[in-house]
Structure 1
Amino acid sequence: MKKNLIRKIIGGLSLTSAMFVFQACYGTPQDIGLDLLIEGQVKSKASGLPIKGIKVTVAENLQYEYTNEEGKFSFYTEMLEGLTLQFQDIDSTQNGLYIGKDTVLTDLSKNIYLDIALEEK
């Protein structure tokens, strides 16, 4: 009797652990129709080359993402009346120094793709 109880407890903990790992690895599904996909690419205005390491922030909820090697970013955020995206060069030693830029998005009826050009200081 005691052995069966211990087996059930260990089995339950194993199942709970497996579910936790799955959740941590794959995340929660996006709320269909309630979340907005914002993606785009940040390039240098002078050279047209992509800029890595630019911090893209949603000002309303402080959610942020960094651009990758190709200057691209992508994230889901909650759909609001209007969103302000801030583009900031955090690490000026890696890719030069760029002037920050704010972009206000008003038409949030569908997913958004942005091409952003930043000027060098």
Structure 2
Amino acid sequence: MSGGFLDDNAFSDQRPRRTDSYEINDLLFLGFNSRVLALDRDTGALIWSWKAPKGRSGYVAVMVDEEQLFVSIDGYTYCLDPFSGNQLWFNGLKGFGYGIPTLATAGNHTNSAGAAEMRAREQRRRNNNAQ
């Protein structure tokens, strides 16, 4: 990590768990100053930090949809792995201009069937990590 207050990593006096021990609901995502952070939502411990290679806005749109974290900064759109912060893909949306982004997907489930599906996917992810 580089720059500003993130260097001291003093968000919490508790040591964070390994990232493979987290479930998506254990994490809190924040976006600002071209950065995205993942915190342990119970302790506030910093799990990972990512800085956008393009885009310099103070406003960062962040949205979690199942097991993908979507980020948009100044018209540049990224997909991150929510558990590691690794960049999965990038789309510069060339020709669409700049502005404050809004993110939405049809995959944000609010019904119990969707919640059950998310729990099943989470269990499969944990089982795959255990192998």
Report the TM-score when normalising by structure 1: 0.29
TM-score normalised per structure 2:
0.27
The structure with the larger Rg is 1
Greater strand share, 1 or 2?
1
